Structure 1
Amino acid sequence: MTPDAEEPLPELDLRLTEENPEDLYEHAPCGYCSCLPDGTLVKLNATLLGWLGYAREELVARQALAQLLTVGGRLHFETHGTPLLLLRGQVRELSYTLRRKDGTALPVLLSAVLVRDADGTPLVVRVTLFDITERRKYEQELLRTRALAEERGAQLAQANAQLTAQNEQLLRTNADLDSFVYTASHDLKQPIDNMTGLFEEFKRTATFADPEAAGMVGMFAEALQQILGTISGLAEVVQVQRQLEEVAAEAVPLQPLAEEVVRSLQPQATDAGAEFELDFAAAPALRMARPGAQSMFYNLFSNALRYAQPGRRPRVRVSTARAGTSTVLTVQDNGRGIDLERHRRHLFQLFRRFHPEVAGSGVGLYLVHRLVLQAGGRIEVESAVGQGTAFRLYFPA
C-alpha cells in the first residue's frame, strides 16, 4: 500500500448526508419541471417558479412548456426539439428564451429526458433549465465588439485604399513636376547661355558715356549668373532624383568616396588652405544609392568651403559613430555658422540662402535633406554664428 492509502480519511459532518431530496429539488440552482408527452406541465420546482413569477397553480395542468417560450422558440421546440426527444430520448443544451409573467425575457439552456413505461409508451418528460442571462450578455458583448472591430476594419481598409490612391496620385504628380522642372531648366539654359554670350560681346564692344553704366552692367551680369545658378540647381535636383530611381541601394564604402569628393574640390580647397579630416572607423559604410551618397558628400563639403569664415583656415572633420540602431555621419566645419533661431524652420527649403554675400544657389542643403530622408534617415544641426556648423545625419544601421 502507498503511504497515501494508509492515511485516515477526514471525518465527515453527518449533517451533509441528511439533505432533504424534496428541498434539494425545490431549491436547486437550476429550474426543474416535468410535463406530459403533449407538453402539459405537471410539476415545477420553486426555483423555476421564482424565475417566472408564477404561482404553482397558475401553471400546473393549465399551461404547456411550449407556452412559456417565445414564438420563435415555441416553433423551434415543436419542430425540432420534440421530434428529437422522441427519436433519441433526450435533448441537450437547446438555447431558448422564456417569457416571465411580467413579460420580460429570461434566456435559458434547456435539456430534457423522455421517460417511457414498460411498454415503451412515452410517460413523462423531465426538463432542466439553466439561467444564462450573464452568458447571453457576454455573447452579445462579444458580438457587438466583433461588429465594431469589423466596422473599424472596414473603415481602416477604406482609409488605406484612399491613402494608397493619394500616394499614387502624389507619385504621379511628383513625376510630372520633375519632368516639367527638367524640361523647363533644359529649355531655359540655352537661351540664357545665348544671352550670356551676347552680353559678354556687348561688354567687349560697347562704350558707355554714363558713369553709372559700369555698375548697371555689373548688376546685369550678377542677375544672369543667378538665373544660371537657379536653372542648374533645378536640373541637379531632378537629375539626382532620377539617378536614385535607377540605382539600387548598396553598402557604400565611405573612405574612398569621401576622398574622391575631396579631390574634386581640390582647387577650392587649395585656394582656401582647407584641411579635411576623415574618420570612418566606427562605421566604414552606409547603405544607400552611391550617386546619392556622392551628392550628399559633395554638397556638405563644398558648402563648408564656400561658407568659410573670412580670415580663418577652413577645417572640416568628417566621422561616423554608432548610436543605438543608427549610424551617425557627422560633418563639422569651423565656418560662418547659421543663425538657427532665425533660420531653423527654413534650413532645408529649396533656394533658401542664409549668407547673401556669398554666391550660391540654395540647393545644396535641400538636396542633402532629401537624400537622407529617402535613405530612411534624419538630420540634426548644431550651429553658432562665427564658429561653425555640425550636421549629424542618422541612417538606419
Structure 2
Amino acid sequence: MSLIKDELFENIFTHAHGGIAIVSLEGKWVKVNKSICELFGYSEEELYSLSFQELTHRDDLDADLESMTYLIEGDVDSYQVEKRYFHKKGHVIWVLLSVSIVRDLDNNPLYFISQIVDISAQKSANWHLQFLMNVVKGQNEKLNDFARIATHDIRTHVGNLGSITEFLEEDIVTIIDNDNYKMLKESILNLDETIEHLNSIRLDKPKKFNSLNELNLSDYVKKAMYNISAIAKKEQCQIINHVDKDVMVLGIEAYLDSIILNFITNAIKYKSPNRDPIIEISTSTKGAFVILNIKDNGQGIDLEKNQQKLFTLNGTFHKHHDSRGVGLYITKNHIESIGGKIEVESKVGEGTCFYIYLLKA
C-alpha cells in the first residue's frame, strides 16, 4: 500500500499542470516538477543549484521571507501571495504562490510545499485595463472642462443674438411678420433651451432609469422638425409626422432632443440624388417600450457590409463631406443610457428605417 501511495504521489507531483515544488527551510529547491522548470526556463539540475531567494524580485523578497518565518514559528498554517520571479532569460514572471509546511511527529518543521501558478497574462491585462481607465478618466475631465466652457460661451453668444433680434424689431417694425425671421427667433429660443438642458446634465449626477422624466414624445418631434425647418425647406424635404400627441416616454430632455434631431438631419443629409427626400415619423408600442420609427427614402445602407460598424465610433459608410462617424455612436449611447435600444432596416437605393425603443412612461 505504501508503494502505491508513493507512486500515486510521484505521478501527481510530476504531471500536475501547475507548478509544485518542495523547498528546504533555507530556500533551496529540493524537488520540482516539469511545470516549475517550464515556468522559470531552467532545467531541474540548474534549479537544484539555486535558491528561491536568488530568483525572487528584490521588492517582494522581504514580505515572502516574513511569511515563511510566521509559517516556521507556527503562527500560520499556510500563506498565499502574489509575487515576482525572474525567468532565466531575465524577464519578470508574476505568480500566485501558495505555501504550506510539513512537520515531523515532534512538530519540527521539515520543508515547505509550494504551489506556483503563472498569472503574468492576467497582470498584463489588468495593467492594460488600468491604463485605459486612466485614459478615459483624463478624457472625461477634458470633456467636463470643454462642456463647462462651451455652455458658458455659447450662452453668451445666444444672449447676444437675442439682443440683436430686439434691435432689428426696433429698427424694422415689419420684420416680426417675416417667416424667416420668425424661424430665426424660435431657433434662438430653442438653442438657449438646449444649452440649459445640457448644462443640467453636466451639473447633475447620472440619472437612473427609475428617475427619468416623463416627456411628451410628440412635442419633441415637433420641436426637432421646427429646428431643422430651414434645412428641410432648402433641401425640399417633406417630413410627415404621425406621432400621437399623447404618447409619453421616459427620458432626459437634452438626450431626446439630440436623438430625434440626429436621425432627422441624417435622413436629409443622406438623401437620394434621384428624388426629393421624404421622412415619415410614427410610433408603435411593444411591451414596456414606445418605438419611434423614423423612415426615409434616401440612399440606404448596405447592412450586410456595414452592420458591425453602423454604431461604432468613426464608422462611416457614405461618401459625404460631413460624415465623421460620430453622430450615430453618440446617439446610440444616449438611447441606451435612458434604458432604450435601437434597431435598423435598410435597403440600398430605397431608404432606411430606424426603430428607436424608448421606455414607456
- Please indicate the TM-score interval, normalised by the length of the shorter structure: 0.3 to 0.5
> Taking structure 2 as the reference length, what is the TM-score of the superposition?
0.44
Q: Which has the larger radius of gyration?
A: 1
